[in-house]
Amino acid sequence: LAQAFHGFPIEVFFLPMAGYAVQEDDEVLIEELPNDNKSAFQSSKDKAKDLSYYYAHQPESEKGFPSEAVIRQVADPSKVADGMGPKQLGGNKKVELDNVRWIDSMSYSDDGKLVKVYIDFPEDIKGSEITCEWERFGVELIVQCPSGKIFGVRVRDAEGWILEHERKNGFAHEIVPEKCKYRVSSSGPKISLTLAKKDENEKWYELKKKDIRSTF
């Protein structure tokens, strides 16, 4: 039989298999390509679209994307794919720390495996944009109010410490950042922080670590 493969004429021969005799009335189904001067490559793509065998070998630039697809350019993918769960793309604006009004006053309670920290704000924070970053011994909470004012809470170790007795200003004991969370109160301009203790049996007698030299 004469047939075409990728635009080139070939002869197709059918050889009988062992133990099988070809009968004169055996039917062979051959799919004929339309006579439109298209190659087998193009005809397959037109018929099967992205299910075509050749689709995998097509350049990415020619495949295209669905009309509803949203393509975002990310300067540093590591800022998005950091293994810490889903993040909103194209989101928070960079905060100028010089414009932040830092709040130092807060109360706390030791609740067994957790420590609760309570923070009062000087104005309504409903509808505010809030970011919270946790560390082993600290936290930084930024509240951007609809009024334009920016409030912040920061607990962080002083730099340069190596041994535990040299550490100061951070939380009294180590926490588990990925298990900590914050909650905005529905009854007023308040936010509560829930700290997950690294050592669940350790009692917190103070919220922040003091400089041991100040006790002498």
Over residues 117-138, the pLDDT tens digits come to 999 999 999 999 999 999 999 9
The Cα 117–Cα 54 span in angstroms is: 60
Per-residue pLDDT tens over the stretch 24-38: 555 555 555 556 666
pTM for this one?
Answer: 0.54
DSSP run (H or E) holding 144: strand 138-144
The Cα 142–Cα 96 span in angstroms is: 11
Pair of tokens at residue 42: 């193009």
